[in-house]
Amino acid sequence: MNGLGNEILVVDMRDGAATMTGAVARAVAGEDRTAFEQMMVVYPPRADGTEAYIKIFNNDGSVAGACGNGTRCVAHFLNRATGKDHMTVETDGGLLEIFNAGGDLITVDMGKPRFGWDQIPLAEEFADTTGIELQIGPIDAPVLHTPSVVNVGNPHAIFWVDRDPDTYELDRFGPLLENHPIFPERANISLAQVLAPDRIKVRVWERGAGLTLACGTAACAVGVAAARKGLADRKVTIELPGGPLGIEWRADDHILMTGPWTLEWEGTLPENLLPGRAA
């Protein structure tokens, strides 16, 4: 499936007969037909009141705590399987509520953002995470500097730019910033240009996946970080290369993300990838 153009592979393991590993995820990502940015593995529920437990892999085999676009795709998959329009799923980043918003739109309650330096986490203490000391380029004329940082299931760093994010070499800066020592668990890197109080243009280098057409958690991170800095309203449209996402940071501190899903194809993974069965 895709959520605004990024490649999401939803793998149904609800029968509990096998377990996905990072090594297998990398192998699946290496095949042309099954190449993905995020793999959403759907397991039987572990927690009462949930519909499923979702394990999320990046295409390098690393584990992600959350994937907003992937969660919308899983929501459609589970809606079709169960007929339910309102469900709760569990991820390593916490519990997420998902709602059918009509048509091809899904709303996900992404929970509460975390702003503490040790919650993101950072390698050293910063009292103010609306802007930390980090830059790319010459000291006296940095290309990027003073990112806001926030955890929305994953660590995110947002660099505020005053020109089109497409004009920056994010493919060159992204790997350096993702793996900077200040981020012990690496980080998703976003360039954000505020176009209006309710509209922000964003480009994302995704941790473990690279440049992406869309990243739901990054859109959430940008929305709340912009509101914290007084750059935008608490309800904004985030314009990503793959299309727009609606982000609302409610008064109860929860983030609502609304966007589409698209089903591309369905099939069976090769049996030899998971010993003893086909997935």
**Residues with active-site annotation:** 67, 215
**Side-chain half-sphere of 255: how many Cα atoms within 13 Å?**
28
Q: Whose CA is closest to 225, among 122, 150, 116?
A: 150
DSSP 8-state symbol, 12 = E
DSSP-assigned letter for residue 186: -
Residue 258 is encoded by which pair of tokens? Answer: 């609304």
CB 112 within 8 A of CB 254: yes
Residue 194 tokens read as: 């505020």
Closest listed residue to residue 101, CA positions, set 75, 123, 82, 78: 75
Cα 222 from Cα 257, distance rounded (Å): 12
Whole-angstrom distance, CA of residue 206 vs CA of residue 58: 9
> How big is the chain by its Cα radius of gyration, in Å?
18
